[in-house]
Structure 1
Amino acid sequence: MEFFKSLKIVPRWLIILIDAVIISHAAFFAYFVRFNFQLGTIDRFQFLPSVMIFTVLAVMAMLISKSYVGIVRHTGTGDLSNMMKMLFVTNVLLWSVKLANSTFGLYDSTLFLPFSVALIASTLAFPLMIGYRLMVKEIFYYMNNRYKKPNRKVAIYGAGEAGILTFNALKNTSDSEWIPVAFIDDDLGKEGKLIEGKRIFYSVEGLKKAVDKLGVQEVVIAINSLSIARQREIIDACLDLGLPSKIIPPAKDWFETGLKSKDIRDVRIEDLLSREEINLGNNHVVDSIKDKIVLVTGAAGSIGSELSRQLLRCEPAQLLMLDQAESALYELEQELSKVSLNVSREVLIGDVRNKKKMQEFFEKYRPEMVFHAAAYKHVPLMESFPDEAVKCNILGTKVIADLSHTYGVEKFVMVSTDKAVNPTNVMGASKRIAEMYVQALDKHLTNEGKQGHTKYITTRFGNVLGSNGSVIPLFKKQLMNGGPLTITHPEITRYFMTIPEACQLVLEAGVMGNGGEIYVFDMGKPVKILDLAKKMIKLSGKKLGEDIEIEFTGLRPGEKLYEELLNNYEVVLGTHHPKIKIAQVLSQDYLKVKDQVDAFKELLQMGDEEVLVSHLKILVPEFISNASRFSKLDKEDRLVN
């Protein structure tokens, strides 16, 4: 036993030696089987020399087929195939030698095994060679695990091919924390059957039985073709039973290298989205962006950085990444340098509010497409500093939009937010005015009959899961610190989408847009933040009310209970994709909007925040402040230009 424990990999020479011994003994016994243990008949053959020659031919076949190269403790179906190939080659070699001998009459034919004996020997040797490999595999498993503390008992949800691969990955990894004890499957026909000696239970009802009978402590979901809805149901069932759950990655991520226990990840809150993930299948996006010079503003942010990653895969002629956050921008560049060396990339440090600096960049690089993601987005902070929201979100957008027209950019795609709809805060109002300006500019250029003018497009979506400053990272941090989880109101809801989904919309809009559109996603139903918090607590393995608490802090300045993707007066039109809509927004006069936006420059110099916010309310009449110090302005006469 200690010998096997000391060996991490059985030497190849030892495998050849053991296989040779097995084959020689199989050939020896095959004589007796073939001639019904009649020694007189066997004496007609040169018994021992023929066995030795057959064994030598088998060793030659091993070298040809490389049947000895497999790692014994990872024996699988591939090794069975190699054993069969080796035995086939052995018999082919025997036939060739006998044919040559009969042709040239070199030796007595009794020196060689009869074909019938060789076939019986091969049949006997095959299970013996496989059997000892499986025995060694079990010894390795036993020796590696006998001194370990009891591992966590795991049920594998999925009794198909992915489930079996997961079972092997967990069992064959020496440092694995888990030991699989059962399978769960939604196929009723598999109930009660065994895989690898482990019972299959039916559906989530069977999961509870596995917990009661076998003491299952954790679940690994191992079904590649699982719908999001069914995945959510399984995870919810695990949460109700107090079971931590994990999930295997998509098969494409491990198909070539094989599934390993380290690839199995914890279930994330993104896995509990209440809808199927939106996937546009945007192959045409690649064709539209390939070989173009593309500028991304706000490239160091959550959306901007993912946009840069996805744009890189489109192989633009040059990718320009602009931001004022130099540390985050440096980290992004270091990440992308490992992904692709074929696309020219430039990191640009600058503030979109600095028109002179931005003009220098446009003059030097001449971008053909602009994705404008630079913005201040935190509602409470912008409520405290409305001047910064105006400078960045409105005037900064105007700078980039105007320069895009001046330097002949083909398309300008702006990232907006659902907070721009019926805004209750400064941030939302500033983004709505940015929308108004780029739409009005597009209409103005179209009406003037400008040939090939820049097409201005807006994308509008809800909260992005996991983005900087969003509720998910906040809850994770609070969970790590032992709580409490803070929620502003028990009834507050939000729309959610993943960062990759949001960026798909932005890229898709950049391709399909003809100018002036506001694109919105069908984002399903809004999510109640309280429900989100409860699920995150369960996912962390903690119990609400025992290990961690939830506290309600009251709505923050400018915050509203629910958000919308459309104003009351907006209607939507369909597109070629059922998940993408176009919001038809009331048109604005460009010269009037431009004058109103330019007026912010003088108001900023005055330094009066109430005057500044009042002007926001003039441009966006539906902007009614909520739980804010600016609420009083809604009851007073607003400034008139």
Structure 2
Amino acid sequence: MKTFLQNKALPKWIILIIDQIISTWSFALSFFIIRQFDFETILRGHFFVYSGIYLVVSVMVFYAMRIHTGLIRYSSTDDIYRIFTAVLMASLVYGAIVGLWVSPAFHIDSVNIYVVLLVNFFISSSVLIMMRLGAKALFYYIKRGSSGDKETVLIYGADSFAILVKQALEVSNAGRLTIAGFVDDNPNKIDKHIQQKRVYHINDIEKLQSKLHIDKLVILSEDLKSEARKNAIETCVELGIKVVTVPPTEQWMSGQLRMNQIQDLRIEDLLQRPPIVIENDKISADLAGKRILITGGAGSIGSEIVRQVLSYKPEMVIICDQAESPLHDLQLEMEEHYPEANLKICIADIQNFNRMYALFKEYNPQMVYHAAAYKHVPMMESNPSEAILTNVLGTKNLADLSMTFDVEKFVMISTDKAVNPTNVMGASKRIAEIYIQSLNNISAQPKLQDNVQGTALQQTRFITTRFGNVLGSNGSVIPRFRSQIEKGGPITVTHPDITRYFMTIPEAVQLVLEAGTMGRGGEIFIFDMGQPVKIVDLARKMIKLAGLTANDIEIVFSGLRPGEKLYEELLNQEELTIPTHHEKIKVSKVREYTYNKVLASINELLNLNKEGDELDTVKQMKKIVPEFKSKNSRFEELDSMVQ
């Protein structure tokens, strides 16, 4: 009993002895059955010779097949199969020895030994299996009796993977979990039983909750994108049933599920859409063997670009960022996962033209992914000069240098906040978009080359990708809500009607790479962001995912922040979209901008910014972007001054 409670395993030699006691007893019983329990005749015959030889053969076969090395409490169908095989092999070997050597040599043939072996096969294998199943049941019974809080769980699915999850949970969480059954939407499996557990329909979850008091739904993380599974998850969230995920079975260590691999379902998982299909061959042809510069490489989007770009085997990846610690962390991660990659880690500020010039000159990149930017709306509303220096001047520096050094493609990461901007941040990104668009036809105007220091025959293609919020990015609403929930609330939401588009970081970057590959220059690619999500609904779901209710965590509406608008847009009113071969990517049919005019306007903006007059600076931004109308901001008074 103590051994069971302390999770200690019996020594292998004891298991071997127990198996042989059972095997020999079974053989003797079979012998007695065939001789109709005529003990006097049996004991005066050759019973001990037959039994002794069988014991020797059985020990050798069981030892050779390592039957005694498995932990009895973890016995599975594979172990049952191995026992059947071992008993069969022992019978065949023993039969051959008796028939070919024992009977002819000692002239003993007083019993039909082959019938004895047949009866013994069924008795021995059955008892050996029952012993293991009984020991396993006893172990879990004792663990259940000795454990504290218990939880009742359902497992989504009724296939072989769900069965593996059931077995792994029984082993990994011995005594703490009661598995109520499986849930599935396959009508052929409903009301059937798998390993003594019933399969229920997903529509029965609510009934099961009231009847069995379900605590958790367990689901494989790779199954999250199925519509039926999403419905089951939504039902559980509404009922207050916690949803936990386990990784794909190939990620289990030594075939066993670890406790730290069982994770609570995150809101990011709940908002995921069907996987994006991209043309890897074309992207590979575009990136393989290239020198690629990624600015803002330590950020949430930039670091994911680094990860995905490295999978296409570029010649070199230059990672540029001014954030020292995140850049160091990324370097350690990449060195661990891509030890053969040629990485150049550069701490640099894109505002510093000379530093960026030196970087371009040293590494001569062929592709630039520009993800460096200031993106927090309220922060930039309070510090417009920094938004202009990084988002406008920084982008201009990189774009000009890309022309100077004949970069093949320049892909800029923009934002939905650049559409009809209501804040300084969005307007600064829109100005950056306008500038790189105007550069796309610069090669047709050789008289302007002195201004950008480019060569007369430069072929740089400037491409813009525009999308909304990404789940889990640095500073996004989801980590903030999660932190507020962990502290017991309240959750602060700016407005009950505020909505946002959301996309996961990996799928956003996948579309960036795809758009960069298909771009011919001058396009603004717009991504399908799915349906907008109300932020207050997002907060409520996160509360429920944490196993709490609205009574546990208060939601407080703090009011719109400076520059914030209720609804984000992905397209200007004067723009149209053109479909591409990828259903999730469209091209914005944008207005044409003349480089001379754009350059003059931006130079005036940069000069005003250098002088430090914020009102004149923002007024110039509104002149460059006429649709820029401030909301909930100190700059609203300027709208009437700019016509």
- Relative to the length of structure 2, the TM-score reads 0.92
Shift of residue 637, structure 1, vs aligned partner: 3.8
For 2:345, the aligned partner's letter is: V
Question: Aligned with 2:218: secondary structure?
Answer: strand
Distance (Å, rounded) in 2 between the aligned partners of 1:107 and 1:355 = 101
- TM-aligned CA distance change 1:43 to 1:143, over 3 Å: closer
Residue 505 of structure 2 corresponds to which residue in structure 1?
499
Select between 139-148 and 34-43 the one with higher mean Cα deviation: 34-43
Q: Secondary structure at the match of 2:164?
A: helix
For 1:123, the aligned partner's letter is: F
Q: Relative to structure 2, which stretch is displaced further, 111-120 or 366-375?
A: 111-120
User: Shift in Å at residue 272 of structure 1?
Assistant: 2.4
Whether 1:292 aligns to 2:290 is: yes
Shift of 1:314: 2.4
Which residue number in structure 1 is paired with residue 86 of structure 2?
86
How far the C-alpha of 1:403 sits from its partner, in A, is 1.3
2:632 is matched with which residue: 622, 627, 633?
627
The residue that corresponds to 1:201 in the other structure is: 200
In structure 1, the residue matched to 2:24 is: 24
**Aligned equivalents of 2:152, 2:614: Cα separation in 1:** 61
How far, CA to CA, are the matches of 1:108 and 1:410 in structure 2? 93
For 1:221, give the aligned amino acid. I
What is the correspondence of 1:305-316 to structure 2 with a 5 Å cutoff?
305-316=303-314
Deviates more, 1:422-431 or 1:212-221: 212-221
1:116 aligned partner: 115
* Structure 1 residue 636, shift from structure 2 partner: 1.0
2:134 aligned partner: 135
Q: How does 1:536-555 map to 2 (within 5 A)?
A: 536-544=542-550, 546-555=551-560
Corresponding residue SS for 2:369: strand
1-structure distance, mates of 2:88, 2:292: 60
Whole-Å separation in 2 of the counterparts to 1:543 and 1:357? 53
Q: 1:348 to 1:274 in 2, by over 3 A?
A: closer
User: Matched residues in 1 for 2:343 and 2:564: separation?
Assistant: 39
Shift of 1:532: 0.9
Residue 76 of structure 1 is matched in structure 2 by: 76
Matched, 1:461 2:459: no
Question: Within 2, Cα distance between the matches of 1:513 and 1:186?
Answer: 43
Choose the corresponding residue for 1:618, options 620, 623, 631.
623
Paired residue for 2:341? 343
1:573 aligned partner:
578
Query: What 5-or-longer segments of structure 1 have no aligned partner?
Result: none
- Conserved? CA contact 1:98–1:109, under 8 Å: no
Shift of 1:555: 1.6
Aligned mates of 1:347, 1:547 — CA distance in 2: 46
Cα deviation 1:358-417 (Å, max 9, x = unaligned): 111111122222111000001111111111111101110111112122222222111110
- What's the counterpart of residue 101 of structure 1? 101
Q: Which residue of 1 aligns with 2:449?
A: none
Q: Which residue of 1 aligns with 2:520?
A: 514
State the AA in 2 paired with 1:404.
Answer: S
What residue is the counterpart of 2:316 in the other structure? 318
| Residues 71-95 of structure 1, C-alpha deviations (whole Å, 9 max, x = no match) | 2111001111221332233234235
**Contact in 1 for aligned 2:166/2:179 (Cα 8 Å):** yes
Query: How far 1:68 sits from its partner (Å)?
Result: 2.2
Describe the superposition over 1:39-76 as per-residue Cα deviations: whole angstroms up to 9, x where unpaired. Answer: 69868962221122122112211232222222211100
Displacement of 1:106 in angstroms is 4.6
Q: What are the superposed Cα offsets for residues 334-354 of structure 1, whole Å, 9 maximum, x if unpaired? A: 222221211122211110010
2-structure distance, mates of 1:433, 1:109: 103
2:12 and 2:68 in contact (8 A); partners too = yes
- Residues 494-545 of structure 1 show CA distances to partners (whole Å, capped at 9, x for unaligned) of 110011111111222222222222212112111111111111122222222x
Q: Describe the shift of the 1:290–1:99 C-alpha distance in structure 2 as closer, same or farther (beyond 3 A).
A: farther
Larger mean CA deviation between 523-532 and 91-100 belongs to 91-100
Q: Check 1:3–1:333 CA distance in 2 against 1; reply closer, same or farther (3 A cut).
A: closer
Q: Secondary structure at the match of 1:434?
A: helix
Aligned equivalent of 2:442: 444
CA deviation string 1:561-612 (max 9, x = no partner):
1111111222222222211111121121122222222223321222111111
Which segment is superposed worse, 459-468 or 226-235? 226-235
Cα RMSD between the aligned structures? 2.7
Distance of 2:156 and 2:472 partners within structure 1? 27
Quick one: which amino acid aligns to residue 61 of structure 1? V
SS of residue in 1 equivalent to 2:343 = strand
TM-score by length of 1: 0.92
Partner of 1:13: 13
Q: Does residue 591 of the first structure (1) align with residue 596 of the second (2)?
A: yes
Identity value in percent: 43
| Residue pairs, 1:365-384, within 5 angstroms | 365-384=363-382
The answer (yes or no) to whether the contact 2:147–2:175 under 8 Å persists in 1 is no
**Greater shift in the superposed pair: 623-632 or 591-600:** 591-600
SS in 1 for 2:67: coil
User: In structure 1, what is the Cα distance between the partners aligned to 2:391 and 2:221?
Assistant: 44
Cα contact 2:619–2:642 (8 A) shared by 1: no
Q: Which residue of 1 aligns with 2:430?
A: 432
Distance apart, 1:179 and its partner CA: 2.6
Contact 1:375 1:393 in 2 (8 A): yes
- Identify which range, 132-141 or 417-426, moves more after superposition: 132-141
- The separation in 1 between residues aligned to 2:616 and 2:175, in whole angstroms, is 64
SS of 1:221's equivalent in the other structure is strand
1:243 partner letter? I
Q: CA deviation at 1:427?
A: 0.8
Correspondences of 1:183-194 after superposition (within 5 Å) = 183-194=182-193
1:147 positional shift: 2.1
Give the corresponding residue for 1:155.
154
1:403–1:286 Cα change, 3 Å: same
The answer to whether the aligner puts 1:411 opposite 2:417 as a matched pair is no
Are 2:91 and 2:117, in contact at CA under 8 Å, matched by a contact in 1? yes
The code of the aligned residue for 1:595 comes to A
User: How many residues get paired?
Assistant: 635
**SS of the counterpart of 2:381?**
helix
Amino acid at match of 2:62: M
Distance change in 2, residues 1:313/1:109 (3 Å): farther
Deviation at 1:224, TM superposition (A): 5.3
Shift of 1:168: 2.0
